[in-house]
Structure 1
Amino acid sequence: MKANALWTIAPQRAELREQDLAVPGPDQVLVDTIATGISRGTERLVFEGRVPESQWPAMRAPLQYGEFPFPLSYGYSAVGRVRAGAEALLGRRIFCLHPHHDAFVAPASMCIPVPDAVPDHRAVLAANMETAVNVLWDARPLVGERALVVGAGVVGLLVTFLLARMPGVELVVCDIDEGRRSIAESFGARFVAPADAPGDRDLVIHASASPAGLRLALSCCGFEGRVVEASWFGDKEVALPLGEAFHAKRLSLVSTQVGQVAPAMRGRRAYADRLALALSLLDDARLDALLGPAIPFKDLPQSLGTVLSPPPGDPQPLCPFVTYIYK
């Protein structure tokens, strides 16, 4: 059996490669891919070769092929249907943390059934929703808090979607892109430009992946407020105002990363539990606003650079996704 796979072979260069598929063992499944999601922040760093060598082990995708920096096949948002293997999953739609391949063999334990109410294309958001869930497990928001989300990318908006469900939370989203306003407001948050970001926040989630955004997040905190850093800067150094009011206001700066289940839930939830929860939370048609454009798999090597880093002035997509010819 053969499959086609996207490989990044050098900075900003990708190609499709044909490779052999193993016969699935008793605890594995063969999956025909329906769609994969592109995580623009992380996959841009990989595509451009900007993952620091010190972070290669931590940033390795669960089912990655090859090694950093190149060549490698990277990705972690695949939706497909099980063609062969473990009987309990035969014929079912699943989500798996797998790269962009048109078919693949994976451990059955890593293939989580997609709820019937969640369409194929929306299910590619599961990995990002899992990140948002983990962010909130680390943030531990409280009823009635004044919250601010800085950065209305996919993770920031999914955090907004979840935070807006908490009673009594005064929720504001801040971004430089006015085009994100309608989505944030549809989730139940107020949207502002950075210049209008409110202060005296109890909780700030920073998800802009920009030094200016993180500095803004710190400046908007009230006394004993906390900033949860949900973005990742790769090899970029960041200067922060840790003098000024940082100590007088007794601020907390907390890192969060989806590679580990947040300590608040680590003793009670496994990775599969967290991913299954993320999939269940996708049963909301408002989330479709995060998706697009759709890219045919055959065009992905030529389109990837543009969709990861659009030319200046072009719209910035949120979650592009790849479509496959279902076998």
Structure 2
Amino acid sequence: MARLTRALWHTSEEQSVLLEEPLPAFQEGCCLVQTAWSLLSCGTERLVALGRVPPELQERMRVPYMGGAFPFPVKYGYSLVGRVVAGPRPWRGRWVQAMHPHQEAAWMRIEDLNPLPEGMPPRRAALFPNVETALTALWDAPLKIGERVLVVGFGLVGSLVARLVQPLPGVELVVVEKQAQRAALATQMGFCVQDAAQLPAAFDCAFHCSASAAGLQLCLDHLGPEGTAVDLSWYGTRSVPLKLGGRFHPNRLTVKSSQVSSLPPAMRPRWSHQRRREAVWRLLNDPLFDQHLTHTLPFESAPAFFQSLRKGVPPGLGYVLQYGGGEGG
């Protein structure tokens, strides 16, 4: 009799469920990973749960091991951490991170496994793809020592961008977040938080992470001449109206899209995806990243969480699902 595992599926724009599916006994060139943690990327996964992936982007938005198809039913998610319990002997017992939907256990190809460095807390390792996204955004800017930097939107990605910017020598970093609980979190974490109405129009670079037209407009309105707004937001099927008739053209402002799937052109001659992965692991050695995982939820509560998420993005930063005892947290 085949072993069964449970996975999170979105079956309609109103419902998410845990469904059982069989696990093969063995797959050549693969490892069986028993999941301990998986990260919920609230912005993107909310749009997926609502069925708002644009038809023209459905192929690009597919993730490894995705089940079903957009819009529904679909099994989606992209950061799972667990221990290898079956497969080639050198891999057994190792902790790995992988791009995989929320699921209790899964066979994965060895080339898709991202081994955790020795001493890396598995729970923190679930942040890997989001830290990779934030690092790529800094490369896309690119920032210079001493610049004035604005981060608009202190969700998980925005908070990670702020975390990477803050230690840069001489940089003046300001965070804007309209949600009171998140703004309070930013202050508690040591970031300078200002009200949007009090901002000067003098920033060299702005990172937009609020997934709103108003947030991107705020970035543009507060850039100095020749300034750059790096947009990390994904809008799904929504249009993004902007006011570009005022100071945008006279000040030669730039809006730059940042996307983690490819390396910035300036980095490609020297950097590979593997070298970037190694850099992300070095960054994640810092225990301060644990502050960005503000909520831990049992895997069984995932359907209820998505029911709430459909109504609006929650006030915390990183939400992580815990499987069983969540070993290695």
Structure 2: gaps (5+ residues): none
**Who is 2:182 aligned against?**
180
- 8 A Cα contact 1:204 1:226, kept in partner: yes
**Who is 1:170 aligned against?**
172
Q: 1:310: Cα distance to partner?
A: 5.1
- 8 A Cα contact 1:161 1:187, kept in partner: no
Confirm or deny that 1:48 pairs with 2:50.
yes
d(CA) in 1 for partners of 2:143, 2:291: 25
- 8 A Cα contact 1:185 1:191, kept in partner: yes
**Residues 234-249 of structure 1: matches in 2 within 5 Å?**
234-249=236-251
SS of corresponding position for 1:233: coil
Deviating more after overlay: 300-309 vs 43-52: 300-309
**Who is 1:297 aligned against?**
299
**Who is 2:105 aligned against?**
103
**Residues 141-180 of structure 1: matches in 2 within 5 Å?**
141-180=143-182
**Residues 1-327 of structure 1: matches in 2 within 5 Å?**
1-181=3-183, 183-185=185-187, 189-307=191-309, 309=311, 316-325=315-324
d(CA) in 1 for partners of 2:64, 2:258: 18
Q: 1:284: Cα distance to partner?
A: 2.5
- 8 A Cα contact 2:206 2:230, kept in partner: yes
Q: 1:217: Cα distance to partner?
A: 0.3
Q: 1:45: Cα distance to partner?
A: 0.1
Q: 1:279: Cα distance to partner?
A: 3.0
Q: 1:17: Cα distance to partner?
A: 1.4
Deviating more after overlay: 131-140 vs 272-281: 272-281
Count the aligned residue pairs: 324
Point out 4+ residue stretches in structure 1 off by more than 4 angstroms: 185-188
- 8 A Cα contact 1:310 1:316, kept in partner: no
Does the C-alpha gap of structure 1 residues 264 and 189 become closer, same or farther in structure 2, counting only changes over 3 Å?
farther
Aligned alpha-carbon RMSD (Å): 2.0
Amino acid at match of 2:270: R
Deviations 1:219-252 (A, max 9, x none): 0110100110111111111111111111100111
% identical aligned pairs:
40
TM-score by length of 2: 0.92
d(CA) in 2 for partners of 1:276, 1:67: 32
SS of corresponding position for 1:69: coil
TM-score by length of 1: 0.92
Q: 1:154: Cα distance to partner?
A: 0.7
d(CA) in 2 for partners of 1:74, 1:117: 29
Amino acid at match of 2:317: L
Q: 1:190: Cα distance to partner?
A: 1.4
Deviating more after overlay: 191-200 vs 148-157: 191-200
Does the C-alpha gap of structure 1 residues 119 and 309 become closer, same or farther in structure 2, counting only changes over 3 Å?
farther
